[in-house]
Structure 1
Amino acid sequence: MNGTSSADAATAAAPSPWEDLVTTALLGTDRRPAAYGGSGREAPLALLDEAAMATVRRRAGLRPARAARRPEPAPEDPRPALPGAAARRLATLLADRSAGSGSGRRGSSPDLMELLPQWLATANARGYAAPPQALPALLDAARGRTDLRPAALAFAGPRALWLARLNADWRFALRAAPGGGARLPDLGDTEAVRRLWREGLFAERVALLGALRAGTPARARELLASTWAAERAEDRLMFLDSLRAGLSAADEPFLERALDDRGRTVRATAAELLSALPASALAARMAVRAAACVALDRTRSAPGIVIEPPLECDSGMERDGVVAIPPAGRGERSWWLGQLVESAPLGSWPGRLGGRTAQEIVALPVSDGWQGELHAAWCRAAVRQRDAAWSRALLGSPSAPEAGGPGAVSLAERAKLLAALDSAERAGWVAGFIATHGLSEAFQLLGVCAVPWAAPLGRAVVDALNIARDAGSYPWSFSGVMGLAERCLDPAETVRLEGLLAIPDEPDDAAPGAGGYWAEAFQRLMTTLRLRAQMAEELAPPHGGPPAQPPEAAA
C-alpha cells in the first residue's frame, strides 16, 4: 500500500505534458532537447507542432459547461420610429470621426460629430425612438464623449440599459441611470418599497429615493427619516442630496434636525439646502447675523455701506453650516462674512438698507475695500436662490466700461447670474455685452444662452466676427466662438453670412493670408447652418403633424 501511495505521489508531482512544453519553450530546444521528434522536423518546429496538437487535445477534453441562462428579450420602445431620412442622417453622424487638424485650420467642411448633440436634442424633443441597428454605434459615441451621454441615453431608451448589461464597454449607461440601472418595484406596493429600502443595495436605495422624490416628496422624506440614525455618514450625505429635487418648506423640520448630524459634510449640505429656502428658520438666523455685519453708513453725507465682519465663528454659526477654518490665503473674518451673506435671504436686505431696491443697493459704495467680498457673496446668494431681480442688479449694464461687472463680479459669476433670467433677456444682455466688448471675453456668457440663439444675439455675434475679420487677425483666434456659432446660430442667419464669403482686400498690418482663412471659416459656418436646417426638416413629424419645438438648451 505504501509503495502504491509513493507511486501515486510521484505521478501527481510529475509535470503535465503542457507544462513540459512550456518549460522547453522558455529554456529553448538547444538547452532542453525535446523528447519527441518523430515528425522529422527541426526541434523548434517539432515543438510548435506538439504545442498545436496539445492545444487541440486540451480543448477537446474540456467538459461541456452548464448552459448559460438566456438573456431576457430586449424591452419594447413604444416611441415612433425615425423617418427614413433622419435615420440615414444619424448613421452618417455616427460614422464621422473627424477631429480636425492640430494646426487650428479646420477647412470648410462641417464637423459632423459636433452636430450630433443638437441632432439628438431635436430627436428627443420630438419623441422618436432610436433605430435598433444604430444603438451599438450610439453607445460607442457616448462612451467616448461624456457630453453626449444624457441625450444619447435618452434617445437610446430602455434598450440602452439592456445592452449595457450584456457588454462591459457600455456599463457607463448603467452608472448614468438613476440607481445604476436598478430595477425598482411598483411604487404603489408599500411593502415592496419598504423591503427594498431595508434590504436593497445602496444604488437601489438611491434610485428608490429619487423615484419617490419625483412623485411623492413627503413619502421619500418619511422613508429616509425612518432609518436615518442607522445610516452610514457617507450614505446619509448621498441620501440628503436627493432632497434637492422638489425642495420645499415641508423639508425644513427634517433638515433642521440634520444640522445636528455627527457628519460635518452632512451638516454643511443640510445648511445649504435650508439656506435655499428663504423662509426657513436657518435663513432667518443667517439674516440676523449678516445684518449685524452690513449696515448703512450714516456718518457721511452720501449714503454707503459699512462692513463689520464677525469677530468669531461661534458654535451656533458652525451648526448652521459656517465653516470655521478658511482656505489658504483667505482671512478668517472675510471668510465668515461671505458665508453669512450668501446664506441670508436676499429679500431681507431692502428693509435693512433703507427700503432700497436691489439695483440701488448694489450701486451703493462699500467702505474699506469690502465691496468685492460683499458683492461676490450676494452673487452666490442670487444664484442659490435664483433671484432674477438681484441677478439683474449684480450683472449691471452690459455696456458698462468694465467687462467684469460691478465690484468683483467676474465673467464666470456673470455667467451663473444670467441663468436666473429668462432666455430672451439673457440673449439680449449678452448681445449688448458683445456689442461693447467684442468676442474675446464673451465665450463663457454665450455658453449659457438658449439654443438656437435669439435673433439679436445672432446678429451681434456675426457682426463681431466681421469686425474681427476686418481687424486682420486669424480666425482661429476665435475658434471657440466660431464652434459655438456653428452649433447655436439660427440657420436663418445664412442670408447675412453670404456677404462674408468673399476674400477682402487685406490691410498692410493684417496677418498674411488671414482674409482667405476667414472666407473659409465663414463658408464652413454657412454650410453647417444649412446642414442643420436640413436636419431639422428630416426630423419633422410625418404627414404634416404639428412639429414639437426644439429644446431650449445651453450651448
Structure 2
Amino acid sequence: MKGGTRNGNGNGGSAGMSVTWDDLVGTALLGTERRRPAGVVGDAEEAAGGLLDAAAGGAVRRRAGVRAAVAGERPAAAPEDRRPRLPEAARRRLEMLLTDRAGRGSTPNLAELLPQWLAAARREGYAAPAAALPALLDAARSRTDLRADALTLAGPRGLWLAALNPDWRFALRAGQGAAPASDGGAEEDARLWEEGLFAERVALLTRIRLADPARGLALLGSSWRAERAEDRLLFVDALRTGLSAADEEFLEQALADRSRNVRATAAELLSALPESALAGRMAARARSCVSLGAEGVIVEAPYECDAAMERDGVARKPPSGRGERAWWLGQLVEAAPLASWPGRFGGRTPQEIVALPVLDDWQPDLHAAWCRAAVRQRDAAWARALLGPPPRPSAPVAAIGDPAKLLSILPAAERAAWVAEFVATHGLADAFQMLGVCAVPWAAPLGRAVVDALDIARDAGSYPWSFSGVMGLAERCLDPAAAEQIAVLTPAGDDPRDGAPGARAYWSEAFQRLAGTLRLRAVMLAELRPGTADAG
C-alpha cells in the first residue's frame, strides 16, 4: 500500500470529506475492484487504503456528532458484607468449579462437585469474593439446585448486583435466604407488599413467615381479596412456612375460593394440621369407609363425591385408568390424620394395622393412601410400618407407595441402615431413588454396601454405564475416606469369559474417576475448614 494514501492529505482523506457513510459501507461490502467512492483513485491496493482512510475520517465525524446522553442516577453503594473471606485455596477452588467443566474419562466432573462445595461454604459462613459474584449468579440462574446455597454465599452484595441486571432478578424472588432484607421495619415491608413486583412480594411473605408467621398471615389477609387467582395460589402455598393452627381460619375461608387450585392447596395444608376441622371431617369420612371385620379390613369406598367433599379438596374426576371409587377413597384416607386409625382398629399399633389382611383387593389402594398420608404428615411410625424390613432375597422388589419418600421421614441412621441392607440383598438396580434420600456423606455401612454391589456388577461382566446414575451419586455422596477402598478396584484385569467385551477396562476407568473424585472432595472440603479464612 502506497504511503501517500494513508496520509490525511491523500486521496483517501479527501474522499472521506465528500462521501457518505453508506457509500463507504457499500464499497467495503462489494470491494474496491467493483466499486469505488468518489475521489478514491489508484490501483486496487491504493484504493483499499483510501477506503480505510475515508472510513476512519467518517467514523470520527460520526462520533463527534453524537450528543451526550443524560447521565443516569448513580446506583447506591454496595452494602458491606462482614462475613469472613474465603481462604485463598478455597477461592481458587471456587473459580475452578464455576468454569463448569465436565469430567472426561477418569477426570472428575468439577461441575457436579459445586453443589457440595457451596453447601460446605454456607455452613462455614463465608462470603463470596466480589470478583466471583457474576459467575456465581450465572451458575445459580442456570441451575436451580444451586440457588439457595449460591445466593447465601453471594450475600447482600450478590443481591445488590442482581438488582442491576435483569438476568439476575431471580435472586430477588428466590425466597428463603434470598429475599432482600428491609431495614425500614413494618412500614417498609408494607410499602414493598403494596408496590413490589409479584416475585418480590412472595419472597417478602416467605421471609416474614420464617420470623413471624402471624405477621405474615396478617399481611396476606390485608390484600387477599384483591389478588389475582394465580397470585393467590402461590401466596397460600407460602403459608407452608410456619404452618400452624393459627392459619386454620384463613385456610378454611380459602376453601371457598373461586380458584380450584387455591381450594386444593388450602385443603392440603389443612389436612397437614391434625387438629383442624377439615382433618376431622376427612377422618370421619375415611373411617366410614374402612372398618375391621372378623376376617380382616373391610373397605366400602364412596359411591359419590358430593359438594361438601369437593369443598374439602376432593377432586371429582379421576385420572385416566383409575376408578372413581378408588380415587375418592384414596383422597379421603390420604387427608385423614393417621392418629385416628388406632382407635378404629381396636388400639392396634401402625405395624399391627398394616399387617391386617384387606378384603376384596382393596389393599393396594388403602396402603398407598396411607403411604401418602405418612409422607404428608411426616409420621415416622407409620412410614416404618409401611416400609417394613427390606424384602428378602427371594421376594420381589415391590412396594406400595414410594419407598424413597417413606425413607426420607426416618432418622438418617435408620434410613442408611435400611438402604444398606436393601442394596446388600438386591443390588443397585432398584436402589437409585433410595440412595438419593440418604444423608451425605453416606454412613460407612451404606458406603461399603454400594461399593461391594459395584464390585459384584463388575465381576458379572456388565458395562459400568448401566450404573452411571449410582456412580454419579457415589462421587458426590461416598465418604472421601472410601477412596482407598475404591483404589483397590481400579486394576483392569481380564474380562470374564461370558462378560461384555472390554467391560473390565471401562470399569477400571470408572473406578479411577471415582477414587480421584473422592480424593479431590477430601482436599476441597479441607480447604474450607474453620479458622483458615484470611483476616477480613
Q: TM-score range by the shorter chain?
A: 0.7 to 0.9
Q: Distance in 1 between matches of 2:367 and 2:107?
A: 45
**1:281-320 residue pairs with structure 2 within 5 A?**
281-298=277-294, 303-320=295-312
1:276 shift after superposition: 0.3
Q: Distance in 2 between matches of 1:337 and 1:115?
A: 44
1:278 maps onto 2:279 in alignment:
no
Q: Which residue of 2 aligns with 1:114?
A: 112
Q: Which residue of 1 aligns with 2:322?
A: 330
Q: Which residue of 1 aligns with 2:8?
A: none
Q: Which residue of 1 aligns with 2:122?
A: 124
Q: Distance in 1 between matches of 2:85 and 2:114?
A: 18
Q: Which residue of 2 aligns with 1:7?
A: none
**Equivalent position to 2:83, from 79, 84, 88:** 79
Q: Which residue of 2 aligns with 1:389?
A: 381
- String of CA shifts for 1:245-267, please: whole Å, max 9, x gaps: 01111111111111122221111
Q: Which residue of 2 aligns with 1:364?
A: 356
1:178 shift after superposition: 5.8
Q: Distance in 1 between matches of 2:211 and 2:41?
A: 79
- String of CA shifts for 1:40-61, please: whole Å, max 9, x gaps: 2699968887666544433221
- String of CA shifts for 1:121-172, please: whole Å, max 9, x gaps: 1111111111222223333333443322222222122222222233444344
RMSD of the alignment, in Å? 2.9
1:444 shift after superposition: 0.7
Q: Distance in 2 between matches of 1:377 and 1:457?
A: 29
1:236 maps onto 2:240 in alignment:
no
Q: Which residue of 2 aligns with 1:527?
A: 516
Q: SS in structure 2 opposite 1:222?
A: helix
- String of CA shifts for 1:160-202, please: whole Å, max 9, x gaps: 2222233444344334356985563533x4x444344334433
**Equivalent position to 2:155, from 145, 151, 157:** 157
Q: Which residue of 2 aligns with 1:97?
A: 101
**Equivalent position to 1:470, from 443, 459, 463:** 459
Structure 2: segments with no counterpart, 5+ residues: 1-18
Q: Distance in 2 between matches of 1:317 and 1:351?
A: 23
**Equivalent position to 1:142, from 140, 154, 174:** 140
1:456 maps onto 2:445 in alignment:
yes
Q: Which residue of 2 aligns with 1:59?
A: 63
Q: SS in structure 1 opposite 2:390?
A: coil
Q: Distance in 2 between matches of 1:263 and 1:202?
A: 18
Q: Distance in 2 between matches of 1:482 and 1:289?
A: 47
Residue correspondences, number: 511
Q: Which moved more, 1:420-429 or 1:368-377?
A: 368-377
Q: SS in structure 1 opposite 2:298?
A: strand
Q: Distance in 2 between matches of 1:275 and 1:235?
A: 22
1:516 maps onto 2:505 in alignment:
yes
The answer to whether the Cα contact below 8 Å between 1:431 and 1:460 also exists between their aligned partners in 2 is yes
Q: Which moved more, 1:330-339 or 1:429-438?
A: 330-339
Q: SS in structure 2 opposite 1:75?
A: coil
- String of CA shifts for 1:357-402, please: whole Å, max 9, x gaps: 1112222222222221111111111110000011111112113454
Q: Which residue of 2 aligns with 1:8?
A: none
**1:162-181 residue pairs with structure 2 within 5 A?**
162-177=160-175
- String of CA shifts for 1:398-432, please: whole Å, max 9, x gaps: 134545444x33xxx11111111111111011101
1:311 shift after superposition: 0.8
Q: Which moved more, 1:383-392 or 1:233-242?
A: 233-242
1:269 maps onto 2:265 in alignment:
yes
Q: Which residue of 2 aligns with 1:354?
A: 346
Q: What is the identity, as a one-letter code, of the residue corresponding to 2:500? A: A
% identity of equivalent residues: 65
Q: Distance in 2 between matches of 1:236 and 1:394?
A: 36
Q: 1:330 to 1:98 in 2, by over 3 A?
A: same
The answer to whether the Cα contact below 8 Å between 1:237 and 1:269 also exists between their aligned partners in 2 is yes
Q: Distance in 2 between matches of 1:151 and 1:192?
A: 26
Q: Distance in 2 between matches of 1:141 and 1:27?
A: 40
Q: What is the identity, as a one-letter code, of the residue corresponding to 2:113? A: L
Q: Which moved more, 1:202-211 or 1:167-176?
A: 167-176
The answer to whether the Cα contact below 8 Å between 1:180 and 1:203 also exists between their aligned partners in 2 is no
1:245 maps onto 2:244 in alignment:
no
Q: What is the identity, as a one-letter code, of the residue corresponding to 1:371? A: Q
Structure 1: segments with no counterpart, 5+ residues: 1-16, 101-105, 545-555
The answer to whether the Cα contact below 8 Å between 1:183 and 1:204 also exists between their aligned partners in 2 is no
Q: 1:510 to 1:90 in 2, by over 3 A?
A: same
